[in-house]
């Protein structure tokens, strides 16, 4: 079967990375170069991003190598010299990585990751790093929006079945947890990352039984821990009454109905009816969980309408970042042995030089960021930390729960206007430092690539 693993991940790159590397090899061009990975502009409707994916990126870099099978395949293409192929066979990643921590809020043009390594290494890892960081950052950012819309209620990642493949399944669950999901339905993600796993029941279970009430009774007896019954297989209100009857019947056995789930229909009105049915049956403690292609916009509306919902299952829209399914991450050469570099393509310029991002807060709330040069002295908290040196991590991986807490604190520190689901309040100010401005001027660009973000 065709799985990406440590053994073949180095080959998960675009052919041109290897073609360019072959030329660098032929030219003996392998001085250290610095590439910044950043997002040119925030996607529509986004006021911020949540950095995510760094741990996987570092895992990849630490284990980076081409195995014999990979070299054999490259050789079969007939376009690489033996000298280059044997060089590749010995290649590891020996460089330095500076990065913004996972869970931290980031904005356009800010390097999420900055790689300094011999040119050949730095070039070949581009495709994987972009794939890994931009996808996970996109999902963590989406999850943070869902968390904001939930206003303290919990939500669970239900996205596995609509995620883009197997790896996206586990990575989306991880990124969703970082962004604020309480749990995931994805068992493997639970096993990999220690994320709480959570689940209810499907319509098929109800349909596999004689009738709904029989299905409810059996499920509650067999799975008595925190049972949630799905009540929309036939008729939601009838389902709620049946669930209530079974709950009363089984209460003497100590089995409690934790919740009911509604997955279709007019969720607002059905939730109100079901709440009434449950309350009238003295089941005030029984929660109502909503699902069914929900996103942060619908959740915001349900809560604004005071729908008595307790929590949400969010799938497709979370795991695919449905309204913005791609993040325009780029990985650009900003410095090499001859100094800072700057690309001037129309609309696709880059900020030159090795940088630092300084975050300036006032009274615990973010005020603005300054993108400056690495060695500049400036106010504010520097966000880019050295996380890898000589191809090895400088410290053990962050605990995922602490990453999640970092994200939660990041969101708390955002100015109120950035917590809206729209961008009407105006963006966040990101400026360039005097040192960076001077450097840009030296490249003779009259239109620096960045306005305010």
Interactions with its own copies, residue window 308-327 (CB under 8 A): 316-317, 320-322, 325-327
CB of 33 or CB of 49, closer to its own copies: 33
Q: Is 179 in the site for its own copies (CB under 8 A)?
A: no
CB of 69 or CB of 305, closer to its own copies: 69
Alpha carbons 8 and 128: distance in angstroms, whole number: 12
Give 295-349 as a 3 state SS string: CHHHHHHHHHCCCCCCEEEECHHHHCCCCCCCCCEEEEEEEECCEECCCCCCCCC
> What's the closest the beta carbon of residue 405 comes to its own copies, in angstroms?
21
CB of 207 or CB of 377, closer to its own copies: 207
- For residue 192, which of 172, 208, 209, 215 has the smallest C-alpha distance? 172
Distance (Å) of CA 138 to CA 58, 126, 171, 299, 426: 18, 18, 11, 19, 20
Residue 391 neighbours by CB under 8 Å, 6+ apart: 61, 62, 64, 92, 93, 94, 95
> What's the closest the beta carbon of residue 212 comes to its own copies, in angstroms?
11
Alpha carbons 192 and 292: distance in angstroms, whole number: 26
Q: Is 17 in the site for its own copies (CB under 8 A)?
A: yes
Within residues 109-168, the interface with its own copies by CB under 8 A covers 119, 123, 126-128, 130-132, 134-135, 158, 160-168
Q: Is 59 in the site for its own copies (CB under 8 A)?
A: yes
Distance (Å) of CA 28 to CA 22, 87, 95: 10, 12, 18
Q: State which of residues 346, 363, 395, 424 lies at the interface with its own copies (CB under 8 A).
A: 346
Q: State which of residues 114, 137, 141, 200 lies at the interface with its own copies (CB under 8 A).
A: 200
Number of residues that bind its own copies (CB under 8 A): 111
CB of 99 or CB of 119, closer to its own copies: 119
- Residues paired with 181 in a beta bridge: none
Q: Is 339 in the site for its own copies (CB under 8 A)?
A: no
Within residues 384-443, the interface with its own copies by CB under 8 A covers none
Q: Is 251 in the site for its own copies (CB under 8 A)?
A: no
CA 287 and chain centroid, separation: 28
CB of 223 or CB of 413, closer to its own copies: 223
């Amino acid at each position: 079967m065709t799985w990406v693993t440590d053994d073949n991940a180095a080959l998960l790159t675009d052919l041109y990375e290897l073609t360019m590397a072959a030329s660098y090899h032929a030219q003996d061009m392998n001085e250290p170069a610095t590439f910044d990975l950043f997002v040119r502009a925030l996607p529509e409707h986004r006021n911020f991003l949540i950095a995510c994916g760094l741990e996987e990126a570092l895992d990849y870099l630490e284990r980076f190598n081409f195995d014999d099978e990979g070299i054999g395949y490259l050789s079969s293409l007939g376009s690489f010299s033996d000298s280059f192929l044997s060089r590749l066979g010995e290649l590891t990643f020996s460089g330095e990585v500076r990065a913004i921590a996972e869970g931290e809020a980031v904005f356009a043009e800010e390097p999420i990751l900055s790689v300094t390594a011999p040119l050949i290494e730095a070039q070949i890892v581009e495709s994987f790093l972009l794939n890994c960081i931009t996808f996970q950052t996109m999902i963590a950012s989406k999850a943070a929006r869902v968390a904001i819309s939930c206003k303290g209620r919990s939500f669970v990642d239900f996205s596995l079945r609509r995620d883009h493949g197997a790896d996206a399944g586990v990575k989306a669950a991880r990124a969703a947890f970082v962004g604020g999901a309480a749990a995931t339905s994805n068992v493997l993600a639970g096993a990999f990352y220690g994320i709480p796993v959570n689940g209810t029941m499907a319509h098929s279970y109800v349909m596999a039984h004689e009738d709904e009430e029989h299905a409810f009774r059996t499920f509650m007896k067999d799975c008595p821990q925190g049972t949630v019954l799905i009540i929309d297989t036939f008729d939601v209100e009838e389902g709620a009454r049946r669930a209530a009857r079974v709950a009363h019947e089984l209460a003497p056995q100590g089995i409690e109905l934790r919740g009911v789930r509604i997955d279709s229909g007019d969720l607002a009105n059905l939730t109100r009816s079901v709440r009434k049915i449950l309350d009238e049956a003295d089941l005030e403690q029984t929660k109502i969980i909503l699902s069914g292609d929900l996103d942060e916009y619908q959740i915001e509306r349900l809560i604004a309408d005071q729908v008595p919902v307790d929590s949400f299952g969010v799938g497709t829209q979370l795991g695919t970042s449905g309204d913005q399914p791609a993040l325009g991450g780029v990985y650009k050469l900003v410095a090499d042995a001859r100094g800072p570099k700057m690309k001037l393509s129309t609309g696709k310029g880059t900020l030159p030089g090795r940088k630092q991002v300084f975050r300036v807060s006032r009274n615990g709330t973010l005020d603005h960021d300054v993108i400056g040069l690495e060695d500049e002295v400036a106010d504010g908290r520097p966000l880019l930390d050295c996380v890898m040196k000589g191809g090895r991590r400088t410290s053990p991986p962050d605990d995922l729960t602490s990453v999640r807490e970092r994200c939660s604190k990041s969101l708390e520190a955002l100015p109120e206007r950035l917590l809206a689901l729209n961008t009407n309040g105006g963006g966040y100010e990101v400026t360039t430092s005097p040192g960076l401005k001077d450097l840009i001027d030296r490249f003779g660009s009259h239109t620096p690539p960045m306005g305010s973000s």
